[in-house]
Amino acid sequence: MKGDILVIEDNHRKAAKQVAAMIIEDIDKSLSKFIISVGGESGSGKSEIAESLKDELLKYGYHSFVFGQDDYFKLPPKTNERQREKDISWVGMQEVRLELLDRNLSEAVNGNGKIVKPLVDFNADRIEEETVDLTDYKVLIAEGTYTSRLGNVNCRVFIDRNFVDTKEARKKRSREKQDEFLEQILTIEHNIISKHKSLSDIIITKTFNVYRNPYIRK
């Protein structure tokens, strides 16, 4: 997303390094592009960990492309915020074109080198399009609140930090007004996203340590 601000800290790099070490063997064995989702609540560090993971995988010789869920919202950011204010029931997975993100990932895996994807301009409050050439990318990383629900994923990573844990991180990004209405939105999102933890292969804890979900069978 154009205009987004990432604040990458040591904890993000720490978690990404652990995740990379856990999945590198699976990437080595994969005969096609390898898709990773990074899900979690608002401000949990999804974008930062995705970018850090991209850097870590490059150390192993693999180029990664990051798909941001923010580009797949049905409405641009400021318009979406106004829609939420008019109708708070708008908040949820229905705000996002997850099926389009899934389709773009599938296109890339199935050999379409160049794909056309949406690109959100935050400051202009506009949704544009961009063409990306993914021919030379072995790994595709999809990060966003609801990306654990994508179908075309080899490894799901979940950041186990709720909206109370992430308050300071959200303040640093300064993308939203921190008020009572935002707390209502984050509570709705929490009730949805917290259930995605059980879908995930790898879980990042509040202290940015990493472990495999023992209830997911490979």
In a domain, 218, yes or no: no
Element at 21 (helix H, strand E): helix 10-29
Q: 204: which 2 tokens?
A: 């990042």
User: Is residue 203 assigned to a domain?
Assistant: yes
Element (H, E) at 114: strand 114-121
Q: Is 185 within the bounds of a domain?
A: yes
Residue 41: inside a domain, yes or no? yes
pLDDT reported for residue 37: 98
Q: Write the DSSP assignment of 146-192 as a string of letters.
A: TGGG-SS-SEEEEE---TTTTHHHHHHHT-S--SHHHHHHHHHHHHH
pLDDT along the chain (218 residues), means of 10: 88 98 97 97 95 98 98 97 96 97 96 92 96 96 98 96 77 62 93 95 97 80
Quick check: 192 and 93 in contact, CB under 8 A? yes
**127 in a structural domain:** yes
Q: Is residue 194 part of a domain?
A: yes
Q: What is the CATH number of the domain that holds 43?
A: 3.40.50.300
Number of domains in the chain: 1
Range of the domain at 160: 10-209
pLDDT the model gives residue 173 = 58
Look-up of token digits 């850090």: 52
CA dihedral of 96, 98, 104, 107, whole degrees rounded to 10: -160
Query: Does 166 map to a domain?
Result: yes
> What is the model's pLDDT at position 106?
96
Distance (Å, whole) CA 131 – CA 118? 9
Asked if the structure places residue 3 within a domain, the reply is: no
Is the Cβ–Cβ distance between 118 and 72 less than 8 Å?
yes
Q: Which helix (H) or strand (E) holds 14?
A: helix 10-29
| Three-state DSSP state, 45 | coil
